[in-house]
Amino acid sequence: MISFSTQTQTNIDFAADLIRQAKQTVILSGAGISTPSNIPDFRSTESGLWSKDEPLEVASLSTFRTHPEKFFAWFRPLASQIFYAEPNPAHIALAQLEKKGFLKSIITQNVDMLHQKAGSKTVIEMHGTMQTLTCTQCYHQVNAQPYLAPFVETGEIPRCPKCKQILKPDVILFGEQLPQAAWMQAQKQARQADLMLVAGSSLEVLPVAGLPMQTLDRGGHLIMINNMPTYLDVRADIIFSEDLSIILPAITERVLHG
């Protein structure tokens, strides 16, 4: 049994009350929800991916088109971490809330599929997915699973089974537009929500960072669970700076069992 400070326990109780009272709760999740699953985030000072590499040099559409081997060399360690990662208690807690009818959808900035692995059904992937690969020449799309294992193990660059050109992971690189269907769906969910819970997102990447404002502007509530300040902290009903993998299960337990 985890013991919380009086203030944290009060916030957990308040968050649970907001979730129970809400007609439509939506989650916006970022890289911070997956760090307990040993997937690095992007902006942490020492461990973040961008503390080691310049994003436009390794993770842009331009780099992929002109020097795909450079992209894949950078991508391989991350792909390996994603390939072997398992959902942590935060992912599982959200899946439980959805199953019991307390959660409408998850809008995620992540491509690691851990929400789906945990059992969540309605997941809107704003930055693409690692589930599929698409040929850069003939646009044939394939399931990523048979190609990820040899890529992770040997560095073998995946190639199209039809035309043998390079397959691109269906993740959004710098210089690419967000998937329009996902963006439209995310905006609709944010506008209809009367409660948004932001879990592990720095809210620095537009346009996704503006989604909580669409909930707030329509009178909705906002819960923040994050390890760094954001521009919307001043508008939040509750702010948690504790470990997501501890706080979200505690809130869920309170919601489901009182």
pLDDT at 57 over 80: no
Q: If you average pLDDT over residues 227-240, what whole number do you get?
A: 95
pTM above 0.85, yes or no: yes
Percent of the chain beyond pLDDT 90?
79
Question: Is-same-fold flag (1-39+87-127+177-258; 40-84+129-171)?
Answer: no
Active site residue 221: no
Per-residue pLDDT tens digits for 150-163: 999 999 999 999 99
Burial class (CB in 10 A: 0-12, 13-18, 19+), 206: exposed
Per-residue pLDDT tens digits for 177-220: 899 999 999 999 999 999 999 999 999 988 999 999 999 999 99
Domain ranges in the chain are 1-39+87-127+177-258, 40-84+129-171
CATH number for the segment(s) 40-84+129-171: 3.30.1600.10
pLDDT at 48 over 60: no
User: 91, 127, 140, 221: which is the annotated catalytic residue?
Assistant: 127
Superfamily per CATH, domain 1-39+87-127+177-258 = TPP-binding domain (3.40.50.1220)
Beta strands 128-135 and 141-143 are antiparallel
Mean model confidence pLDDT for the chain: 92
